Amino acid sequence: MPSFPLSRRTFLQSISAAAAAPLVPRFAWADNLTFAQDFLWGVAGSAGETESRANRGRSNWDVFIDNVGGSKDGTTNVRNTEFETRYLDEFKLLQAAGVKAFRFSFAWPRIQPETAGAPNARGMDHYDRMIDAMLEHGLEPIPTLFHWDMPLWAGDFLDRDVSRKMADYAEIMARLVGDRANTWLLFNEPGVIPIFGYGQGVFAPGYRSRRYMGAALHHVNLAHGRALAAIRANTHSGTRISSAFNIMPFEAPSGTAEDRQAASLVDALWNDAVPRPAYGLGYPELVQPLVEPYIQNGDMEAIAVKPDFFGLNFYSRSFVKADPESPLGITLVEPPAELARTEELPYDPDTYTKVLLKAHQDYGAPDIIATEFGFPVAEAAPKDGWVEDPLRIQYMQGYMRAAHAAYQQGVKLKGMIYWSSTDNWEWVLGLQKRFGLIHIDQPSLTRIPKRSLEYFGKCIRLNGVA
Ligand code: IFM
């Protein structure tokens, strides 16, 4: 029974528990691949990839994708999956499968569409209702404050002052949903922003400059620190806050000194240049010269906020060689032939175990939530209300086993979140890469469950790897 007096969160959860009870049979598997009782089982999505452009301000990604003439398949983010009006269809399927948590992001251009200052009432109301709906469907809301889509008026990360704007926005959102969200992610993959957006020019805002990459990196870190402080100051003491750090080891298969050196720099930039300063460990040595010109007094202290857990996104390793022409100094090479491939990246479970163990060692044995793992794979067309996707199930099982191996070796793994809930608009790759546990029919946008959703539900009931 819920305790009294009832908070809005407890009340909504109690309704959902009653509704879901008959759908969640108790399984007694005699399998030792199980996790601790309070393990968080979730799925994820983001506003920039699922919400349409309706009723919000123009974003950096709108401008970028329009300017480059659309994604690889010609699509843009005008419609996406219209998640903002269709989320109930999705929540019902997730609840029926037994999913426990939903990671999503706020669209900043919906909250402050045209300018700084007072939030837009319609945007606030949208997230208010959406979060209530999650709780009513038994889904623990896990907001991401910033998953790359930024209102145009806010400028970009070349401007130091963006951290102040970000902190104001963080405070607004913390006040709105702090009573219902216990676990927060500030940035999705903060390291990707300076590298892809300011160095390589392949993501918004599309700059291609090593100097810009250094400036953006430091200002991302500053914004990260200030936003975390703003959320901490405006939520209850039990709130846990971190970011979803994308960990992807870089290797140079050629083994030459030049290639290895180039791989080490990008490895430090990608994997360490945000979490290390956030944990008070400073910039990696190789990265220091890039950020040095932008560091002011007090910055490193403001950045060192010590997240409450480590959010870890993992897909695979990356294989590179030196390329003096590229601002990042590398170019991608083919992965070793023995690694199986998803439609996008290698399937790399052993590396998953290793990166979890490494984060455990590097950051003082923190609680870790696997904030993303997922696979775009070839799958059958929907038939009789389902999509058959056995390869995804096989890969999911492999990564969950790999994560469990790390857990057995002492990693404090507290949850696993699959990317993504539905197929969605995969940024510059468009709609062709289908990561979802739920199929999105085009053009109707009807949600159709995949067998992988059923499988994930089985794991959740087992509280382990089925
Ligand atoms: O779709 C992305 C997401 O936005 C960030 N992490 C990786 C996913 C799959 O590429």
Provide the CATH number for the domain around residue 430: 3.20.20.80
Instruction: Report which protein residue has its CA nearest ligand 1's atom 10.
Output: 426
- For residue 124, what are the domain limits? 8-462
* Least confident segment among 26-35, 97-106, 338-347: 26-35
Chain-centre distance for alpha carbon 153? 24
Residue ranges of alpha helices (H) inside 292-429 are 299-303, 349-362, 390-408
Q: Count how many Cα atoms sit within 13 Å of the Cα of residue 246 in the half-sphere of its side chain.
A: 21
CA of 426 to the centre of ligand 1 (A): 7
> How many domains would you assign to the chain?
1
Look at residue 340 in the predicted model and tell me its pLDDT.
85
Q: Is 64 exposed, middle or buried (0-12, 13-18, 19+ CB in 10 A)?
A: buried
CA of 218 to the centre of ligand 1 (A): 22
Residues with CB under 6 A from ligand 1: 46, 49, 188-189, 313, 372, 419, 426, 435
Mutate to test the pocket of ligand 1, among 345, 377, 426 (most ligand atoms within 8 A of CB): 426
Query: How many C-beta atoms surround the C-beta of residue 337 within 10 A?
Result: 7
Instruction: Report which protein residue has its CA nearest ligand 1's atom 1.
Output: 426
Residue 107 lies in a domain: yes
Look at residue 23 in the predicted model and tell me its pLDDT.
40
Whole-angstrom distance, CA of residue 213 vs CA of residue 195:
6
The torsion defined by the Cα of 433, 434, 440 and 444, in degrees rounded to 10, comes to 20
364: its two tokens = 């003082």
Read off the pLDDT of residues 67-92 as tens digits, 9 standing for 90 and up: 999 999 999 999 999 999 999 999 99
Nearest Cα neighbor of 424 from 129, 152, 104, 185 is 104
* Contact in structure between 249 and 351 (CB atoms under 8 Å): yes
Look at residue 13 in the predicted model and tell me its pLDDT.
62
Residue 1 lies in a domain: no
The mean per-residue pLDDT over the stretch 164-179 comes to 97
DSSP strand pairing (240-246 vs 250-251): unpaired
Read off the pLDDT of residues 87-119 as tens digits, 9 standing for 90 and up: 999 999 999 999 999 999 999 999 999 999 999
- Residue 32 banded pLDDT, cuts 50, 70, 90: confident
Residue 28 lies in a domain: yes
Please enumerate in sequence order all residues whose Cβ is within 8 A of that of 54, keeping only pairs 6 or more positions apart, or say none.
Answer: 84
Query: How many C-beta atoms surround the C-beta of residue 458 within 10 A?
Result: 17
3-state secondary structure of 392: helix
Residue 2 lies in a domain: no
Residue 324 lies in a domain: yes
Q: Count how many Cα atoms sit within 13 Å of the Cα of residue 344 in the half-sphere of its side chain.
A: 16
465: its two tokens = 């790897």
Residue that wins the pLDDT comparison between 131 and 15 = 131
Question: What is this structure's pTM?
Answer: 0.94
- Residue 15 banded pLDDT, cuts 50, 70, 90: low
Nearest Cα neighbor of 388 from 439, 342, 315, 345 is 439
Q: Residue 424 CA: which ligand 1 atom is closest?
A: 1
Residue 3 lies in a domain: no
Mutate to test the pocket of ligand 1, among 49, 77, 313, 419 (most ligand atoms within 8 A of CB): 419
